[in-house]
Structure 1
Amino acid sequence: MTPDRRTLIADTAIATLAAEGMRGLTHRAVDRAAGLAEGSTSYYFRTREALIVAALDRMAEQDGTDIGDLGGVPTREGLAALMAGLLRRWLTDGRTRTLARFELTLESTRRPELRARLVEHGTGFVGLAEKLLAAAGADHPRRRAHELTAFVDGLLYHQLVGVGADAFDDAELLAVCRDAIGLVLP
């Protein structure tokens, strides 16, 4: 199924951010990359800020789809497998989205309005981690959720940019996730 025009533009903005960084994200660049007539992106998203918000909203939507329905009481092994699966997805099929998110995260240190929007999106994922950890019996689930999401972000960054090590294979990634779960659960 062909995505609607707004979704196509948001997806293309994400890909442009990942490939070209913030400096490369322009309405014209998105038009070209999406194969649209010049002016199409600005018709749907009048300002660069609106285009960035569309990209952020689309990333949150896709992340939510990746996570899916997490019903039931999680076990340590279940949490580690979920975490490893999400990390693998965000390092492979979702790599472009992950790179774009890091690009926006760095930019948010200079743009308070962008930071507020990223915090808004991130709060939902910390809340989800808090619920899962509380159900699994974590002490201080809110604090542990922040620790776990920070670990996920750090591991994603490390694996994406290849700082100091080769990428983990699936078995290593699961082992690392088991270790992380062991740090946040009693």
Structure 2
Amino acid sequence: MCTTDRRTLIVDAAIDQIARQGLRALTHRALDTALELPAGSASYYFRTKRALIEAIVDRITTRSRDDFTAAQLAPTGPIDPDATAAGIAVWLDHLVAERRNQLIARHTLILDLLSDPELHTRLARSLFSAERARELFHAMGIPDPATAAAAADFIALLEGAVFDRLAGNRAELTPGTPESVRQFATLLTIYLRGVIA
């Protein structure tokens, strides 16, 4: 196994460890045990816990950017709020279904990293892009500087909707179902229609 593959394997195991057992359970030794690696393997690739957490932040950020690109959600041409909400709803549903452990680890780390402004900021911006949100509202005809405020509010809405699905009132709603997509779409449609009203 090459170094890059082993590093990725360790980072993914760390994400799963945080999601299943919490941040306190994340140790180099626990990762070695979980992956059946020789003792000291995780600490060889990530000398400190902070280095491991930095790699987790990078992994979540890269995956988020790749997913967004694959979903082809960047605005092109006139924006229909209902169609835009439906497209983003499908993407959010996929996010919650396919990346549950990453999302749980991210929320856990965001709170833990409040005292580390550099890593906290990187992680807070890892899932949704303020720049892409501003592009959306600009394409919807929202004038500057109102686009920045609309984008920030929209990201707050997305963050809340995702958290609600992980640990809130709608945690029981099964992702990957029409009901799940519909709930996201309804919420987003209300916001997007309100912005252009």
Normalization by structure 1: what TM-score? 0.87
Give distance in 2, aligned partners of 1:174 and 1:120: 22
Deviation readout 1:100-135 (Å, 9 max, x if unpaired)? 11001111224334324324546x711111112212
Contact 1:18 1:100 in 2 (8 A): yes
Equivalent residue in structure 1 for 2:192, among 177, 181, 184? 181
Q: Which runs of 5+ in 1 are unaligned?
A: none
Contact 1:148 1:184 in 2 (8 A): no
Give distance in 1, aligned partners of 2:124 and 2:104: 17
Q: Which runs of 5+ in 2 are unaligned?
A: 174-178
Q: What is the percent sequence identity of the aligned residues?
A: 33
Deviation readout 1:14-33 (Å, 9 max, x if unpaired)? 11111122111111122222
Give distance in 1, aligned partners of 2:98 and 2:124: 24
Give distance in 2, aligned partners of 1:180 and 1:82: 14
* Residue equivalent to 2:87: 82
Mapped pair 1:138 → 2:142: yes
Contact 2:75 2:136 in 1 (8 A): no
Flag the 1:28–1:121 CA change in 2: closer, same or farther, 3 A: same
Amino acid at match of 2:14: A
* Residue equivalent to 2:116: 111
| TM-align CA RMSD | 2.3
Count of matched residue pairs: 184
* Residue equivalent to 2:160: 154
SS state of the match for residue 157, structure 1? Answer: helix
* Residue equivalent to 2:131: 127
Flag the 1:183–1:31 CA change in 2: closer, same or farther, 3 A: farther
Map 1:1-186 → 2, pairs under 5 A:
4-68=5-69, 69=72, 70=74, 72-73=76-77, 74-119=79-124, 121=126, 125-139=129-143, 140-163=146-169, 166-167=172-173, 169-186=180-197
Shift of 1:156: 1.0
